[in-house]
Structure 1
Amino acid sequence: MAKEIERKYLVKDDGWRSEVSSSSDFLQAYIASGDDRSVRVRIMDHARATLTIKIGRKLIARDEFEYDIPLSDAEEMVQSAVGIVLEKTRYEVKHEGYVWEVDVYGGTYKGLIVAEVEIEDENASPELPGWVGREITGDRRYSNAVMATEDLSRELINGLSSAAR
């Protein structure tokens, strides 16, 4: 069983931009979402797609299953999305032996920038880059499934200036 263990942070400045190694544009839609599980379809760079199933209540560690699917199937599934279809560009940044994923949101959540890092176990403490702000691991408001199914854009966008620090 695949396990995703990650920590998530707000981004407080643009220091990460000079360290970007790659980027991808994402369109992300939730087909089903519950308290302890979600089914997500993601289209990357308008060229390929995945279907992901996540199971678990803890936001730091969950079971995750991801499968490549035909782009045409993904495009059709997006039309049946629950709530908001998320738009973001994901940038990969390498720092002190870890790969950080910086998500710059567009659309409904334009202005929100979040960084996450996958870790080997829940107790790992990767060296935090200087551009990382307040930790939001476990804050359900920043879960993509919650952001898609509940419109929290006003709350999350309006609180950014002080929350990132």
Structure 2
Amino acid sequence: MTDGGNGDFEFERRFLLKDVPVDLLDAPALIVQSYFLAQDGFAIRLRVQASATDATLAASTSPLHVLEEHTFDFCALTVKGPTNGGTRYEAEREIDVNVGIEMIRRGGGRIVKTRYSAWLGADGWVIDVFGGANHPLVIAECERSGPVVDLQIPSFCLTEITDDRRFSNDYLSHTPYSGWAASFAAELAVSGPRFRQDFGHNARLPGE
């Protein structure tokens, strides 16, 4: 979450990727999340993170096994509201890692992913590579301290999913991507890529 003077709100745009650009796989962090509430865009989430951990994730990856196999150094409890035009209420509080791990073990809808960070053009981006039931989903997002307008969109972004609730982590925790990936691919083949035009001017990165 970014706090840029707008209180407990996050501002981001999100995109679906087909492949992961290998040269952008930098600053990895392994993340396991559990959603104890995920309904109508409202969510209560626990997240644990293992910094500088580049884990290879597959469809067979179990979030619970990941908890056993790695050492986590950060945990946060987060409350979220529905997304509206790339803006979402989000309040976060850091909690004890051991308490968070035990709560994730005991319940909620779990997801596992490796997050990479990259600086592209004028913005910082994160790329999430999912494992388990959400494999092989890859999502890139750009977050700012205010509305994400006039964005330079990398060519590897397949289509925009900013307000597509199906791709929110809380939705994925109970309706994994593997169960509807084929139907979405068919939908995309008919409709074609979509990039929102109400966030100022969309541009490509210089040199692309």
TM-score by length of 2: 0.70
The structure 2 residue matched to 1:119, chosen from 144, 148, 155, is 144
Flag the structure with higher strand content.
1
Q: CA deviation at 1:162?
A: 8.4
Q: Which one of 136, 155, 158 corresponds to residue 130 of structure 1?
A: 155
Q: 1:18 aligned to 2:44?
A: no
Give the Cα–Cα distance (whole angstroms) in 1 for the partners of residues 10 and 182 of structure 2: 27
1:112 and 1:59 map into 2 onto residues whose CA distance is 23
Check whether the contact 1:37–1:57 (CA below 8 A) recurs between aligned residues: no
Task: Report how far residue 132 of structure 1 moved.
Answer: 1.3
The whole-number CA distance in structure 2 between the counterparts of 1:162 and 1:12 is: 15
Give the TM-score taking structure 1 as reference length.
0.86
Asked if structure 1 preserves the Cα contact closer than 8 Å seen for 2:11 and 2:148, the reply is no
Partner of 1:47: 73
1:100 has 2:106 as partner: no
Name the % identity. 27
- The answer to whether 1:35 aligns with 2:35 is no
Bigger shift: residues 144-153 or 103-112 = 144-153
Deviates more, 1:40-49 or 1:52-61: 52-61
**Which residue number corresponds to residue 180 of structure 2?**
155
Residue 24 of structure 1: how far off its partner (Å): 0.1
One-letter amino acid matched to 1:97: A
How many positions carry a matched residue from both structures? 163
Which secondary structure does the structure 1 equivalent of 2:84 belong to?
A: coil
Q: What is the one-letter code of the residue matched to 1:13? A: D
Counterpart-to-counterpart distance in 2, 1:33 and 1:159: 21
Show CA shifts across 1:45-73 (max 9, x none): 12221111112352621121111111111
1:68 and 2:94 aligned: yes
Determine which structure has more spread, i.e. the larger CA radius of gyration: 2
Whether the 8 Å CA contact 1:28–1:42 is kept in 2: the answer is: yes
Residue identity in the other structure for 1:38: A
Whichever residue aligns with residue 106 of structure 1, its letter is G
What residue ranges of structure 2 are gaps of 5+ in the alignment? Answer: 1-6, 51-71, 194-208
